[in-house]
A and B are shown apart, each in its own frame.
Chain A
Amino acid sequence: MAIVQDTEDLMLYILRLTDGDCIVALASDEQSAGQAAAKLYPQHTQDIISVRPLDSFAVRFSPTEDGGLEVAHWADAALDGILSNEYPLLNEAYRRANAEPFTTVLDSDEPILARLKTEFERNTDIIRQDLRRERQRFEHHEIVPKSKTASPQK
């Protein structure tokens, strides 16, 4: 006999994995979310670091030239929530990079678009450095949590 689940009881959960990835799954509770995640990464189910329900989630994705689906845009609230909870080091890197003034080049003889690109690369390097730290944050984590074990920031 099939079990019919009331969709009103379902929520979106986000699961942070040790390798830096996250999985978003619709589930009735954290345990079910973990089971749903296991179907995506069966070999990595023991690497779930944290699970929490999402307050907000909306993304826009587009088909790519090779037929894949690529997220083109995040709803601001969803992205902010995920960065602050699942990726606090990356979130801090974004904060610092976004606050970094670009070098004024309009009065220079340099080609400005090329310079703008260089400046953006320099700015993005701030993020890349902390992205590496964020990915490695749970690299040696050995606990097999069933529920929320990380301490996400609100």
Chain B
Amino acid sequence: MDVRKQERIGMAPTDSMGKMEKKDGLSLTTYGQSMALNADEKAASLFKLYGLTRGEAALAVHLLQGKSIEHAAAELSISRPAARAHLKRIFMKTDQHSNSETVASVGHDVIRLKSGEQRGFDVAVAPDPAGRNRSEAVRLRETRGVAEAGCAPGT
């Protein structure tokens, strides 16, 4: 990933394990070109922006892939009631975080990651109504959201 782009969107280069990095208050999982994470891992990591646990994020990704709760729960070795409880917590957390605009922005970026092939974290795409480029808008909102919620990387 271009270092200048990393600086522009406020991310620091990651280590090979893709750990959460902090730079100027931004807590975000980033992906370098050399990282061999699959699309699911990328999507799950992005869910950490909302303070989700690894289990909650994994469940969300399974369901977004079109699986049933029963199927997803079986694959994650959790009970169906637990899966439903996970989902409720996901929406509680995401609702707390935000305005739907932030959700929409980051959600869109997850999609971009899903469709990309081993590329860097590229969220610089479209200008927002305020005239900033989208990556900057996302960065500002996410910085505020993570800081206010005091979210630590999920486990």
Chain A residues in contact with chain B, CB under 8 A? Answer: 73-74, 76, 79, 94, 97-117, 119-120, 123
Contacts and interface: CB of A to CB of B under 8 A. Distances in A.
B104 A111 contact: yes
Given A76-B79, A108-B111, A109-B111, A103 B66 contact: yes
B80 A94 contact: yes
A119 B82 CA distance: 17
A116 B64 contact: yes
Given A76-B79, A120-B87, A112 B111 contact: yes
Q: Can you list the 6 inter-chain pairs with the closest CB atoms, starting with the nearest?
A: A104-B66, A111-B104, A111-B107, A112-B107, A98-B70, A102-B63
B68 interface: yes
Contacts of B115: 107
Q: How large is the interface on B (under 10, 10 to 19, 20 to 34, 35 or more residues)?
A: 35 or more
A111 B64 contact: no
Contact of A101 (B67, B91, B105, B106): B67
B119 interface: no
Contacts of A113: 50, 60, 90, 94, 103, 106-107
Contact of A106 (B43, B83, B87, B103): B43
B66 A111 contact: no
Contacts of A116: 60, 63-64, 87, 90
B141 interface: no
B65 A99 contact: no
B77 interface: no
Contact of A123 (B69, B73, B111): B69
19 contacts: A76-B82, A79-B81, A98-B83, A100-B68, A102-B64, A102-B66, A104-B66, A106-B43, A107-B111, A107-B115, A111-B105, A112-B110, A112-B111, A113-B60, A114-B103, A114-B107, A117-B91, A120-B63, A120-B91
Interface centre among A94, A119, A120 (most CB of B within 10 A): A120
Nearest to B94: A113
A119 B64 CA distance: 9
Contacts of B43: 106
Contacts of A107: 111, 114-115
B1 interface: no
A23 to B, nearest CB: 21
B151 interface: no
B151 to A, nearest CB: 15
Contacts of A98: 68-70, 73, 80, 83-84
Contacts of B69: 97-98, 100, 102, 123
A123 B63 CA distance: 12
A119 B63 CA distance: 9
Nearest to B113: A106
Given A111-B103, A114-B100, A117-B91, A101 B108 contact: no
Nearest to B115: A107
A98 B66 CA distance: 12
